[in-house]
Structure 1
Amino acid sequence: MSKVKKRVRPTKEQAQELNRRLDAVVDAGHTNDLYCDCEVCQALAEQAELMGYRTNSTIKKPSEKWERRRREAKRKRQIDAVKMANLAGQGLTSAEISRKIYRSKDYINKLAKEFEITLATKKRGRKPCH
């Protein structure tokens, strides 16, 4: 059985330095960019490797496979939104739409909110007497 290298707890100064670099990355607006190669992000990666939070700080570009999957998913969502808008125009509820296009009701509601589509709702309350 191989021995796992134990990570040494960082000093207070190292933790403060890491937090300062994290703040710099957030101020630069690179929070969602995992593969950024700017000075600020590289300094954060080096500090994280120094402290033992990362084993390999070389930043590699993502493969084309993930970009293609992201584009395909976005396209499917747009197609579902168009189908859903057509059915919502006919006055169907989210449950009825979900059964028609074979998607979950939660997915339908999330798409409706994202694309600002108004869905019909069933009227609640008592039925009229006559």
Structure 2
Amino acid sequence: MSKVKKRIKPTKEQAQELNRLLDAVMEAGHTSDLYCDCELCQVLAEQAELMGYRTDSTIKRPSEKWDRRKQVYERKRQIDVVEMANLAGQGLTSAEIGEKMYRSKGYISKLAKEFDIKIFTKKER
């Protein structure tokens, strides 16, 4: 069995330094940028590694695989919206649209709300 490296509890000074660096990153506005390579974020990553919160201080760029997956997802979603709008124009309810498209009723409702598509609640005869 491999030995797991035990994380040592940081000292008070180390914790204060980490909090100061976190505040600096927040003030810089880099909160939602996971792959930021600016000086502030690099110092924060090195401090986190020193305290045992990270395994390596280098911030790696994501692979192209994730960009392709996101593009495929967006394309499938666009196709779903067009198909859903066509079925809604025929007067189908969200449950019937979900059955025809093999999607859940919640997904259909979410897309309809987002793209402002009118779906009938009851079938008009």
Runs (5+) with no aligned partner, structure 1: 124-130
RMSD of equivalent CA atoms = 1.9
Match in the other structure for 1:73? 73
Counterpart Cα distance in 2 of 1:72 and 1:107: 17
**Which amino acid letter does the alignment assign opposite residue 114 of structure 1?**
E
Counterpart Cα distance in 1 of 2:89 and 2:5: 61
Runs (5+) with no aligned partner, structure 2: none
Match in the other structure for 2:53? 53
Match in the other structure for 1:90? 90
Match in the other structure for 1:5? 5
The correspondence of residues 19-34 of structure 1 with structure 2, limited to 5 A, is: 19-34=19-34
Counterpart Cα distance in 1 of 2:30 and 2:116: 29
- For these two proteins, the number of residue pairs brought into alignment is 123
Counterpart Cα distance in 1 of 2:35 and 2:56: 13
1:14 offset after TM fit, Å?
Answer: 2.1
1:12 offset after TM fit, Å?
Answer: 2.7
TM-score between both structures, scaled by the size of structure 2: 0.84
Structure 2 CA distance for partners of 1:20 and 1:120, relative to 1, 3 Å: farther
Identity value in percent: 78
